A and B are shown apart, each in its own frame.
Chain A
Amino acid sequence: MSDNSGKVFGIAVTFCAMFLFWLLLSGMLDALHVGAGLICSLIVALISHDLLVTGEGEKRLVKAFRFFIYLGWELWQILLANFDVTYRVLHPKMPIDPLIIEFETPLRSDFALVTLANSITLTPGTITINVDPAKGKFQVHAIAQAPADALTVDKTMQSKVAKVFMEEG
């Protein structure tokens, strides 16, 4: 019973999201375009609702809210990252000293791992090479010692992501 209602809920949410997307992209409100949109959204929702709304996880709304706050911080980090790379590239001596580091995190869920991996890539001086989902292990290429220390010593980003997805230790 609860399993079935969850499925219907998933289809309904997917259908609404798809139809909203259709309306925003088309902008035509006559019967033909809206009707075609309804049919297409329904087909997509029936086939792929389990991709958008996965059954797992509680407190989705809290997580989504915290995620948007995190995005604000992340945008600031992206700005810093660009100034950092621009400085290193345009500096006549190119102050770079690349190294590869490894560290483990308490994160396990797919979405948390993807968020951390993409955040690492977008923030100053570091790019994710490999992620081992079973152990939460990250392999990261850093362009110099300072950005590597930010991940292995300070761990600001890991703790922020862990807090967003409530997967601390």
Chain B
Amino acid sequence: MVELIVVIVTILLAAGVFFMLSGAIGLLRLPDFYTRLHATGKCDTLGEVLIIFGLLLYHIFVYSPGAELSVQLVPVKLLFLIGFIFLANPTATHAIMKAAYNTGVKPWKKGDPRM
């Protein structure tokens, strides 16, 4: 049972790292401010949530059995964290986007040189 959980946790962590990595590659490869926000805004959300979910499973099944109540409640905090990330990440992306648009950052069009 514990071995199975560890395998699942490893897969979740690896998937999370993969999405964070593709977000970082997108940040470097994409041509302008707006398209870069596409990469960071979306990949970071899922990457972080997958990593936190992996930690949550590990904590419930491997780390905390037999521990005191305040230690067993850590997964609840991680769940709250997932909720806040889902709420805060798109909002922050949108706020940065709006600020850039209102201050006149020109969007890149297909065929333009990289900025």
Seen from chain A, the residues whose Cβ lies within 8 Å of a Cβ on chain B are 24-29, 78-79, 81-82, 85-86, 88-90, 94, 96-100, 117-118, 121-122, 125, 127-130, 139, 141, 143
* Complex Cα–Cα for A27 and B77 (A): 11
Instruction: Output the least CB separation between B22 and chain A (Å).
Output: 4
Which residues of chain B are within 8 angstroms of A96 by Cβ–Cβ distance? 30-31, 35, 110
Instruction: Output the least CB separation between B35 and chain A (Å).
Output: 6
- Does the CB pair A27–B73 fall under 8 Å? yes
Q: List 22 A-B contacts (CB under 8 A).
A: A24-B73, A27-B69, A27-B70, A28-B69, A79-B46, A82-B43, A89-B25, A90-B22, A96-B30, A96-B31, A97-B110, A98-B109, A99-B109, A118-B87, A118-B90, A118-B91, A121-B41, A127-B37, A127-B93, A127-B97, A129-B94, A139-B101
Instruction: Output the least CB separation between A142 and chain B (Å).
Output: 9
Contact flags (1/0) for B5-49 with A, using CB distance below 8 Å? 000000000000011001101100111101101110111011100
- Does the CB pair A89–B39 fall under 8 Å? yes
Q: Among B39, B70, B90, B109, which residue has its beta carbon within 8 angstroms of that of A122?
A: B90
Which residues of chain A are within 8 angstroms of B46 by Cβ–Cβ distance? 78-79, 81-82
- Does the CB pair A121–B107 fall under 8 Å? no
Instruction: Output the least CB separation between A51 and chain B (Å).
Output: 15
Interface of B is mostly: helix
- Does the CB pair A85–B22 fall under 8 Å? yes
B58 on the A face (CB < 8 A): no
Q: Among A24, A85, A118, which residue has its beta carbon within 8 angstroms of that of B39?
A: A85
B76 on the A face (CB < 8 A): yes
Total residues of chain B contacting the partner, CB 8 A: 43
- Decide yes or no: A82 and B73 within 8 Å by CB, A89-B29, A90-B25, A121-B90 being known contacts: no
- Does the CB pair A89–B26 fall under 8 Å? yes
What 10 pairs between A and B have smallest CB-CB spacing? A27-B70, A121-B90, A89-B26, A27-B73, A118-B90, A86-B22, A82-B46, A97-B110, A24-B76, A129-B101
- Does the CB pair B45–A122 fall under 8 Å? yes
Instruction: Output the least CB separation between B23 and chain A (Å).
Output: 8
- Beta-carbon nearest neighbor of A84 in chain B: B42
- Does the CB pair A86–B77 fall under 8 Å? no
* Complex Cα–Cα for A29 and B77 (A): 17
Instruction: Output the least CB separation between B67 and chain A (Å).
Output: 11
- Does the CB pair A81–B97 fall under 8 Å? no
Which residues of chain A are within 8 angstroms of B32 by Cβ–Cβ distance? 98
